[in-house]
Amino acid sequence: MKLTVKSTPEDFVVEEVLRLPLGAAGPFAVYQATKRGLTTPELQQRLAEQLGVSPRSLAFPALKDKAAVTTQHFCFRGSGPQELVGEGYSARLAGRSIRPLNPGDLLGNRFCITLRGLTPDQALALAQQLAELAQEGLPNYFDQQRFGSYPPGGVFIGKAILQGDAETALWAYLAQRAPGDSPAVRHFKAFARDHWRDWPAMFEQAPRSNHRSLLTFLKDHPEDFRRAINLITPRLLPLFLAAYQSFLWNRAVSRYLQVRLRDSPAQCANVPIAGEALLVYRSLPHALAQELAGLTLPLPHHQMALSGSPLDAALAQALEEEGLTASQLKPRLLQRAYLPKGRRAVVLVPQDAATERADDPEAGTLLRVKFFLPPGSYATLVIKALAAT
Protein backbone atom coordinates (compact mmCIF):
# COMPACT_ATOMS: atom_id res chain seq x y z
CA MET A 1 0.00 0.00 0.00
CA LYS A 2 1.31 3.48 -0.85
CA LEU A 3 0.39 6.07 1.77
CA THR A 4 0.24 9.81 1.15
CA VAL A 5 1.94 11.60 4.05
CA LYS A 6 2.87 15.28 4.50
CA SER A 7 0.58 16.74 1.85
CA THR A 8 0.76 19.78 4.15
CA PRO A 9 2.89 20.40 7.28
CA GLU A 10 -0.29 19.99 9.35
CA ASP A 11 -0.40 16.35 8.27
CA PHE A 12 2.66 15.63 10.42
CA VAL A 13 2.35 17.07 13.92
CA VAL A 14 5.03 16.41 16.55
CA GLU A 15 5.00 17.42 20.22
CA GLU A 16 8.20 17.03 22.22
CA VAL A 17 7.72 15.89 25.83
CA LEU A 18 10.22 16.88 28.54
CA ARG A 19 11.05 14.66 31.50
CA LEU A 20 12.91 17.49 33.26
CA PRO A 21 10.71 19.27 35.83
CA LEU A 22 10.73 23.06 35.47
CA GLY A 23 10.41 25.57 38.27
CA ALA A 24 9.97 29.28 38.83
CA ALA A 25 13.65 29.89 39.59
CA GLY A 26 16.96 29.08 37.96
CA PRO A 27 19.45 30.81 35.67
CA PHE A 28 18.05 29.27 32.45
CA ALA A 29 14.78 30.31 30.79
CA VAL A 30 13.06 27.35 29.11
CA TYR A 31 10.66 27.97 26.22
CA GLN A 32 8.28 25.74 24.30
CA ALA A 33 8.33 26.70 20.62
CA THR A 34 6.01 25.67 17.78
CA LYS A 35 7.26 25.97 14.22
CA ARG A 36 5.92 25.31 10.72
CA GLY A 37 8.03 24.94 7.58
CA LEU A 38 11.32 25.67 9.37
CA THR A 39 14.31 23.54 10.32
CA THR A 40 15.44 23.72 13.93
CA PRO A 41 18.63 25.66 12.97
CA GLU A 42 16.46 28.17 11.06
CA LEU A 43 14.23 28.55 14.12
CA GLN A 44 17.30 28.96 16.29
CA GLN A 45 18.61 31.76 14.08
CA ARG A 46 15.30 33.65 14.06
CA LEU A 47 14.81 33.35 17.81
CA ALA A 48 18.37 34.52 18.49
CA GLU A 49 17.83 37.60 16.33
CA GLN A 50 14.58 38.39 18.13
CA LEU A 51 16.19 37.94 21.57
CA GLY A 52 19.36 39.80 20.59
CA VAL A 53 21.66 36.92 21.52
CA SER A 54 24.05 34.58 19.70
CA PRO A 55 22.41 31.48 18.14
CA ARG A 56 24.95 29.37 20.04
CA SER A 57 23.51 30.61 23.33
CA LEU A 58 20.19 28.84 22.59
CA ALA A 59 20.27 25.16 23.56
CA PHE A 60 17.93 22.81 21.67
CA PRO A 61 18.06 19.19 22.92
CA ALA A 62 16.79 17.79 19.59
CA LEU A 63 16.22 18.61 15.93
CA LYS A 64 12.77 18.52 14.37
CA ASP A 65 11.56 18.05 10.80
CA LYS A 66 11.00 21.03 8.50
CA ALA A 67 8.01 19.59 6.64
CA ALA A 68 5.85 19.39 9.75
CA VAL A 69 4.25 21.32 12.56
CA THR A 70 6.52 20.67 15.52
CA THR A 71 6.63 21.70 19.17
CA GLN A 72 10.01 21.59 20.86
CA HIS A 73 11.95 23.14 23.73
CA PHE A 74 14.96 25.40 23.98
CA CYS A 75 16.66 27.37 26.72
CA PHE A 76 19.18 30.14 27.29
CA ARG A 77 20.85 31.74 30.27
CA GLY A 78 18.99 34.90 31.26
CA SER A 79 15.46 36.20 30.90
CA GLY A 80 13.11 36.94 28.04
CA PRO A 81 9.49 37.84 27.34
CA GLN A 82 6.57 35.56 28.11
CA GLU A 83 5.92 35.06 24.38
CA LEU A 84 7.93 35.24 21.17
CA VAL A 85 6.23 35.38 17.77
CA GLY A 86 7.72 35.51 14.29
CA GLU A 87 7.23 34.23 10.75
CA GLY A 88 6.67 30.49 10.94
CA TYR A 89 6.99 30.18 14.72
CA SER A 90 5.77 31.11 18.18
CA ALA A 91 7.18 30.37 21.62
CA ARG A 92 6.06 30.73 25.22
CA LEU A 93 8.00 30.68 28.46
CA ALA A 94 7.51 27.24 30.05
CA GLY A 95 9.58 27.73 33.20
CA ARG A 96 13.14 27.92 34.44
CA SER A 97 15.90 25.38 35.01
CA ILE A 98 19.06 25.21 37.09
CA ARG A 99 21.00 23.91 34.04
CA PRO A 100 20.74 23.91 30.24
CA LEU A 101 18.62 21.30 28.46
CA ASN A 102 20.27 18.24 26.95
CA PRO A 103 18.98 15.22 24.96
CA GLY A 104 18.64 13.17 28.15
CA ASP A 105 15.92 15.55 29.32
CA LEU A 106 13.51 14.32 26.63
CA LEU A 107 10.91 11.70 27.45
CA GLY A 108 9.93 11.33 23.80
CA ASN A 109 7.54 12.69 21.18
CA ARG A 110 3.79 12.55 20.54
CA PHE A 111 2.78 12.24 16.90
CA CYS A 112 -0.43 12.90 15.01
CA ILE A 113 -0.03 11.90 11.36
CA THR A 114 -2.77 12.26 8.77
CA LEU A 115 -2.92 9.62 6.02
CA ARG A 116 -4.88 10.67 2.95
CA GLY A 117 -6.46 9.09 -0.09
CA LEU A 118 -7.58 5.87 1.60
CA THR A 119 -10.59 3.71 0.96
CA PRO A 120 -12.76 2.90 4.00
CA ASP A 121 -11.42 -0.67 3.96
CA GLN A 122 -7.82 0.54 3.91
CA ALA A 123 -8.47 2.89 6.81
CA LEU A 124 -9.98 0.04 8.82
CA ALA A 125 -7.05 -2.27 8.01
CA LEU A 126 -4.48 0.38 8.98
CA ALA A 127 -6.26 1.04 12.28
CA GLN A 128 -6.16 -2.69 13.05
CA GLN A 129 -2.49 -2.91 12.09
CA LEU A 130 -1.57 0.01 14.34
CA ALA A 131 -3.26 -1.77 17.23
CA GLU A 132 -1.11 -4.84 16.46
CA LEU A 133 2.07 -2.74 16.36
CA ALA A 134 1.18 -1.34 19.78
CA GLN A 135 1.08 -4.94 21.07
CA GLU A 136 3.99 -6.64 19.30
CA GLY A 137 6.15 -3.72 18.13
CA LEU A 138 8.26 -3.36 14.99
CA PRO A 139 12.01 -3.43 14.29
CA ASN A 140 13.59 -0.28 15.74
CA TYR A 141 15.52 0.66 12.60
CA PHE A 142 17.18 4.00 12.02
CA ASP A 143 15.08 5.55 9.25
CA GLN A 144 16.08 7.52 6.16
CA GLN A 145 16.55 10.81 8.05
CA ARG A 146 19.71 9.29 9.52
CA PHE A 147 21.27 8.92 6.08
CA GLY A 148 21.09 12.40 4.59
CA SER A 149 24.73 12.29 3.45
CA TYR A 150 24.35 8.95 1.65
CA PRO A 151 22.82 8.39 -1.78
CA PRO A 152 21.79 4.70 -2.07
CA GLY A 153 24.40 2.87 -4.09
CA GLY A 154 27.01 5.51 -3.33
CA VAL A 155 29.89 5.74 -0.87
CA PHE A 156 29.41 6.04 2.88
CA ILE A 157 31.85 8.73 4.01
CA GLY A 158 31.97 7.05 7.41
CA LYS A 159 32.92 3.69 5.91
CA ALA A 160 35.77 5.19 3.88
CA ILE A 161 37.07 6.87 7.05
CA LEU A 162 36.95 3.60 9.01
CA GLN A 163 38.78 1.82 6.19
CA GLY A 164 41.51 4.45 6.33
CA ASP A 165 40.78 5.61 2.78
CA ALA A 166 41.05 9.38 3.20
CA GLU A 167 40.90 10.24 -0.50
CA THR A 168 37.69 8.27 -1.09
CA ALA A 169 36.11 9.90 1.97
CA LEU A 170 37.18 13.31 0.68
CA TRP A 171 35.84 12.52 -2.81
CA ALA A 172 32.49 11.50 -1.36
CA TYR A 173 32.30 14.75 0.62
CA LEU A 174 33.30 17.02 -2.25
CA ALA A 175 31.96 15.22 -5.34
CA GLN A 176 29.22 12.74 -4.42
CA ARG A 177 25.61 13.91 -4.73
CA ALA A 178 23.70 13.98 -1.45
CA PRO A 179 19.90 14.16 -1.12
CA GLY A 180 19.84 17.60 0.52
CA ASP A 181 22.29 19.39 -1.77
CA SER A 182 21.36 22.87 -2.98
CA PRO A 183 21.49 23.62 -6.74
CA ALA A 184 24.81 25.45 -6.26
CA VAL A 185 26.35 22.49 -4.43
CA ARG A 186 25.02 20.03 -7.04
CA HIS A 187 26.63 22.13 -9.80
CA PHE A 188 29.94 22.23 -7.93
CA LYS A 189 29.93 18.49 -7.21
CA ALA A 190 29.32 17.69 -10.89
CA PHE A 191 32.35 19.83 -11.76
CA ALA A 192 34.40 18.14 -9.00
CA ARG A 193 33.62 14.67 -10.38
CA ASP A 194 34.98 15.70 -13.78
CA HIS A 195 38.02 17.59 -12.43
CA TRP A 196 39.03 15.54 -9.41
CA ARG A 197 42.48 16.51 -8.06
CA ASP A 198 42.50 19.76 -10.03
CA TRP A 199 42.28 21.67 -6.78
CA PRO A 200 42.71 25.21 -8.19
CA ALA A 201 39.93 24.67 -10.74
CA MET A 202 37.66 23.13 -8.12
CA PHE A 203 38.35 26.03 -5.77
CA GLU A 204 37.18 28.52 -8.41
CA GLN A 205 33.89 26.62 -8.80
CA ALA A 206 33.18 25.96 -5.13
CA PRO A 207 30.39 27.93 -3.41
CA ARG A 208 31.27 29.79 -0.23
CA SER A 209 31.34 26.95 2.24
CA ASN A 210 33.62 24.52 4.03
CA HIS A 211 34.45 23.17 0.57
CA ARG A 212 36.49 26.28 -0.19
CA SER A 213 38.45 25.91 3.06
CA LEU A 214 39.36 22.34 2.17
CA LEU A 215 40.37 23.27 -1.35
CA THR A 216 42.51 26.15 -0.10
CA PHE A 217 44.44 23.58 1.94
CA LEU A 218 44.62 21.07 -0.92
CA LYS A 219 46.02 23.65 -3.33
CA ASP A 220 49.06 23.88 -1.02
CA HIS A 221 49.08 20.22 0.13
CA PRO A 222 47.67 18.30 -2.87
CA GLU A 223 48.31 14.80 -1.46
CA ASP A 224 47.61 15.35 2.22
CA PHE A 225 44.13 13.83 2.30
CA ARG A 226 44.33 12.84 5.95
CA ARG A 227 44.79 16.39 7.19
CA ALA A 228 42.20 17.61 4.70
CA ILE A 229 39.57 15.21 6.10
CA ASN A 230 40.10 16.73 9.54
CA LEU A 231 39.26 20.17 8.13
CA ILE A 232 35.67 19.13 7.38
CA THR A 233 33.17 21.06 9.51
CA PRO A 234 33.56 19.45 12.98
CA ARG A 235 29.85 18.83 13.55
CA LEU A 236 29.60 16.84 10.28
CA LEU A 237 32.26 14.20 10.91
CA PRO A 238 30.40 12.51 13.81
CA LEU A 239 27.24 12.51 11.68
CA PHE A 240 29.04 10.72 8.82
CA LEU A 241 30.33 8.10 11.26
CA ALA A 242 26.94 7.67 12.95
CA ALA A 243 25.20 7.22 9.59
CA TYR A 244 27.40 4.25 8.69
CA GLN A 245 27.19 2.82 12.21
CA SER A 246 23.38 3.00 11.94
CA PHE A 247 23.50 1.27 8.55
CA LEU A 248 25.44 -1.63 10.08
CA TRP A 249 23.05 -1.84 13.04
CA ASN A 250 20.01 -1.90 10.74
CA ARG A 251 21.49 -4.65 8.60
CA ALA A 252 22.38 -6.77 11.63
CA VAL A 253 18.83 -6.58 13.03
CA SER A 254 17.30 -7.42 9.65
CA ARG A 255 19.65 -10.41 9.21
CA TYR A 256 18.77 -11.65 12.70
CA LEU A 257 15.04 -11.35 12.06
CA GLN A 258 15.34 -13.16 8.73
CA VAL A 259 16.76 -16.17 10.56
CA ARG A 260 14.59 -15.89 13.67
CA LEU A 261 11.30 -15.60 11.76
CA ARG A 262 12.13 -18.18 9.10
CA ASP A 263 9.87 -20.79 10.72
CA SER A 264 7.42 -18.36 12.31
CA PRO A 265 3.83 -17.85 11.13
CA ALA A 266 4.43 -14.09 11.14
CA GLN A 267 3.69 -12.13 7.97
CA CYS A 268 6.91 -10.53 6.72
CA ALA A 269 7.63 -7.72 4.25
CA ASN A 270 10.45 -5.31 3.50
CA VAL A 271 10.89 -1.55 3.87
CA PRO A 272 13.56 0.38 1.93
CA ILE A 273 16.04 2.40 4.02
CA ALA A 274 19.39 3.67 2.72
CA GLY A 275 19.28 1.28 -0.22
CA GLU A 276 18.62 -1.76 1.97
CA ALA A 277 15.47 -3.91 1.98
CA LEU A 278 14.92 -4.38 5.72
CA LEU A 279 12.51 -6.93 7.19
CA VAL A 280 9.35 -5.91 9.04
CA TYR A 281 6.61 -8.20 10.34
CA ARG A 282 3.12 -8.48 11.77
CA SER A 283 1.04 -11.12 13.54
CA LEU A 284 3.84 -12.48 15.70
CA PRO A 285 3.04 -15.19 18.22
CA HIS A 286 2.74 -13.53 21.62
CA ALA A 287 5.68 -15.41 23.16
CA LEU A 288 7.97 -14.44 20.27
CA ALA A 289 6.87 -10.80 20.45
CA GLN A 290 7.72 -10.78 24.16
CA GLU A 291 11.10 -12.37 23.49
CA LEU A 292 12.06 -9.85 20.81
CA ALA A 293 10.88 -6.91 22.91
CA GLY A 294 13.53 -7.69 25.53
CA LEU A 295 16.50 -7.67 23.14
CA THR A 296 19.12 -4.95 22.70
CA LEU A 297 22.04 -4.80 20.28
CA PRO A 298 25.19 -2.70 20.74
CA LEU A 299 25.90 0.11 18.33
CA PRO A 300 28.85 -1.23 16.31
CA HIS A 301 32.05 0.00 17.96
CA HIS A 302 35.63 -1.23 18.22
CA GLN A 303 35.23 -1.84 21.97
CA MET A 304 31.87 -3.61 21.85
CA ALA A 305 31.65 -6.96 23.64
CA LEU A 306 29.98 -9.67 21.55
CA SER A 307 28.76 -12.73 23.43
CA GLY A 308 28.37 -15.12 20.51
CA SER A 309 24.57 -15.05 20.74
CA PRO A 310 22.55 -15.29 17.50
CA LEU A 311 21.94 -11.54 17.64
CA ASP A 312 25.64 -10.79 18.05
CA ALA A 313 26.37 -13.26 15.26
CA ALA A 314 24.12 -11.23 12.97
CA LEU A 315 26.17 -8.13 13.78
CA ALA A 316 29.37 -10.02 12.99
CA GLN A 317 27.77 -11.11 9.71
CA ALA A 318 26.87 -7.53 8.83
CA LEU A 319 30.47 -6.47 9.40
CA GLU A 320 31.80 -9.37 7.33
CA GLU A 321 29.47 -8.49 4.45
CA GLU A 322 30.95 -4.98 4.49
CA GLY A 323 34.52 -6.29 4.56
CA LEU A 324 35.18 -4.96 8.05
CA THR A 325 36.26 -6.31 11.42
CA ALA A 326 35.32 -4.93 14.82
CA SER A 327 38.85 -3.60 15.30
CA GLN A 328 38.39 -1.33 12.27
CA LEU A 329 35.47 0.48 13.91
CA LYS A 330 37.77 3.16 15.22
CA PRO A 331 38.19 6.24 13.01
CA ARG A 332 41.97 6.41 13.18
CA LEU A 333 42.08 9.03 10.43
CA LEU A 334 40.27 11.55 12.61
CA GLN A 335 41.56 13.65 15.46
CA ARG A 336 38.35 14.57 17.28
CA ALA A 337 35.45 12.37 16.11
CA TYR A 338 34.40 8.95 17.35
CA LEU A 339 31.65 6.38 16.96
CA PRO A 340 29.09 6.68 19.77
CA LYS A 341 28.80 3.78 22.21
CA GLY A 342 25.67 2.25 23.66
CA ARG A 343 22.93 -0.28 23.04
CA ARG A 344 19.65 0.11 21.18
CA ALA A 345 16.43 -1.82 21.65
CA VAL A 346 15.79 -4.19 18.76
CA VAL A 347 12.03 -3.61 18.88
CA LEU A 348 10.09 -0.34 19.01
CA VAL A 349 6.64 -0.43 20.62
CA PRO A 350 4.45 2.63 19.93
CA GLN A 351 2.66 3.82 23.05
CA ASP A 352 -0.79 5.42 23.42
CA ALA A 353 -1.71 4.33 19.88
CA ALA A 354 -5.05 5.53 18.52
CA THR A 355 -6.70 6.40 15.23
CA GLU A 356 -9.39 8.81 14.08
CA ARG A 357 -11.17 8.39 10.76
CA ALA A 358 -12.76 11.17 8.73
CA ASP A 359 -14.51 11.02 5.37
CA ASP A 360 -14.00 13.89 2.92
CA PRO A 361 -16.18 13.93 -0.24
CA GLU A 362 -13.24 15.29 -2.27
CA ALA A 363 -10.18 13.82 -0.59
CA GLY A 364 -11.59 10.39 0.26
CA THR A 365 -11.08 8.77 3.63
CA LEU A 366 -8.54 10.31 6.00
CA LEU A 367 -7.00 8.48 8.94
CA ARG A 368 -5.27 10.33 11.77
CA VAL A 369 -2.73 8.05 13.39
CA LYS A 370 -1.59 8.96 16.91
CA PHE A 371 1.16 7.44 19.05
CA PHE A 372 4.06 8.24 21.38
CA LEU A 373 7.67 7.19 20.73
CA PRO A 374 10.82 7.39 22.88
CA PRO A 375 13.77 9.56 21.77
CA GLY A 376 15.80 8.25 18.85
CA SER A 377 12.88 6.41 17.21
CA TYR A 378 11.20 7.32 13.94
CA ALA A 379 7.51 7.94 13.31
CA THR A 380 8.14 7.60 9.57
CA LEU A 381 9.25 4.03 10.23
CA VAL A 382 5.92 3.26 11.91
CA ILE A 383 4.10 4.51 8.81
CA LYS A 384 6.38 2.46 6.52
CA ALA A 385 5.69 -0.66 8.57
CA LEU A 386 1.94 -0.04 8.40
CA ALA A 387 2.11 0.35 4.62
CA ALA A 388 4.39 -2.64 4.04
CA THR A 389 2.48 -5.13 6.14
**CA 16, 21, 24, 29 torsion-angle sign:** negative
Question: Distances from the Cα of 235 to the Cαs of 151, 255, 307, in angstroms?
Answer: 20, 31, 33
Burial of residue 265, with CB atoms counted within 10 A of its CB: 0-12 exposed, 13-18 middle, 19 or more buried: exposed
- Per the CB < 8 A criterion, the answer to whether 215 and 202 are in contact is yes
3-state secondary structure of 80: coil
Distance CA 302, CA 313 (A): 15
Catalytic residue among 65, 194, 263, 359: 65
> In this structure, are residues 254 and 132 in contact, taking their beta carbons and an 8 Å threshold?
no
* Count of beta carbons in the 10 Å neighbourhood of residue 57: 14
Is residue 65 part of the annotated active site? The answer reads: yes
176-202: string of b/e by CB count within 10 Å (b at 16+)? bebeebeeebeebbebbeeeeeebeeb
- Report the catalytic residues: 65
